[in-house]
Amino acid sequence: MTELAVHPTPIPGLLVIDLPVHGDARGWFKENWQREKMVAAGLPDLAPVQNNISFNQAVGVTRGIHAEPWDKYISVATGRVFGAWVDLREGPSFGVTFWHEIGPDVAIFVPRGVGNAFQTLEAPAAYTYLVTAHWSETAQAQYTFLHLADESAAIPWPIPLEDAELSAKDQNHPRLAEVVPVPPRRTLVIGGNGQLGRALSALWQDRSDVDVVGRDRLDLADPASLEAFDFSPYAVIVNAAATTAVDAAETAEGRREAWAVNVTGVGRLVEAARSQHATLVHVSSDYVFDGTREIHDENEPPSPLGVYGQTKAAGDQLVATLPDHYIVRTSWVIGEGGNFVATMAGLAERGIDPAVVEDQIGRLTFTDDLAAAIDHLLTSRPAAGVYNVTSDGEPASWARIAAEVFALTGHDPARVHPVSTAEYYAGKDGIAPRPAHSTLDLSRIRATGFRPREQFAALREHLRAGTPS
């Protein structure tokens, strides 16, 4: 009996699957789709949403060549067919062909954008296929077609096409020279107006396959905005949007906003990513921890102190339900616009001597480094999960960082007055609790080959540039 096995083909992503078939005098049985075993053998995790059957009564029925906007898993229940595939995706493999006979003991995985066709060799032939998106007339408008008799594809049809049964539509498809290649799926950045969104825009400014949208186009707090947005073009979604007003989240209005964006909106985004089989990159926070541990690794369970931290922890749990995700956990983010470093530099210039907290310890994270880490994860594709990303180096207090800003801008660091958190917030209402220790363990991101900059070296470059990074 054939063992379950997955084989590559000359077309990238097109796979041939050997299926074990158990037979006796009564007939046969096979596990046509068995997620756990097949994913372990090397098949993509399909998550099919529709099962179609094409019943073909006669030998010589020929259908294709159709490239569809979803992945397909093809097999037969009865009969045998000759299958043929042509890569119609934009890129170096455009026009590459492959063919293979399909019986009950063979299945084929066809990725989006690869043209698919078959011809019945033994009838009746029940040709069955799982697909990863629902068919609709709108989706059908996204098909790409190729003529069955295209000379450059040169498919060796066992039954000559002039003797085969073809539809009128399939006889009128274009030749390969006239086919517009299927473009690669795109990358979407949500929260384009924020500090990280602007850093990603700068990093990816030369890429033509990236769309950066602000809250005016996609508002995570607005269900109607999410419902109306078309996620189908995207293979990667980067969620750089969040409500980060830590103290405001402790108010009645702020609690509603934080949960709407950081939890409810993220939940809807997770379902959009799931339906499109997209990779979701989600930015998390050190505020998911209570700060009682001096260093937080990716395996530490959440223990948020305040509402903001609770919403971020809840959003992380939702994202973690996706098979293809990266939760990028960070802290003390510094980017373009208002931030702690800019504030300290401004106070130093204006001659103001600030009181700064000395009992909260962590590391800065510059948005250009955070954007670079996200790009690295999407390029190197390590295992899904949580990755801590901050600057590297010795953890420091806010007070020490403020003193360094003063020194690097030519001012006396002794003008910074270290105080405790309790002293700093004494007499102030509506203050959210802060974790005392925000230092994140960077071992896992380093193991992927990414090397974060040392925080004070990065701070020096940031200030030397004269413009926020």
Q: Please give the backbone phi and psi of residue 267, each rounded to the nearest 5 degrees, phi first.
A: -60, -40
Compute the chain's Rg from CA coordinates: 28
Write out the catalytic residue numbers.
66, 129
Q: Three-state SS string across the chain, please?
A: CCCCEEEECCCCCCEEEECCEEEECCEEEECCCCHHHHHHHCCCCCCCCEEEEEEECCCCEEEEEEECCCCEEEEEEEEEEEEEEEECECCCCCCCEEEEEECCCEEEEECCCEEEEEEEEEEEEEEEEEECCCCCHHHHCCCEECCCCCCCCCCCCCCCHHHCECCCHHHHCCCHHHCCCECCCEEEEECCCCHHHHHHHHHCCCCCCEEEECCCCCCCCCHHHHHHCCCCCEEEEEECCCCCCCCHHHCHHHHHHHHHHHHHHHHHHHHHHHHHCCEEEEEEEHHHCCCCCCEECCCCCCCCCCHHHHHHHHHHHHHCCCCCEEEEEECCEECCCCCHHHHHHHHHHHCCCCEEECCCEECCEEHHHHHHHHHHHHHHCCCCEEEECCCECCCEEHHHHHHHHHHHCCCCHHHCEEECHHHHCCCCCCCCCCCCECEECCHHHHHCCCCCCEHHHHHHHHHHHCCCC
CA-wise closest residue to 287 among 102, 445, 436: 436
Cα–Cα distance for residue pair 75/385, rounded to 1 Å: 33
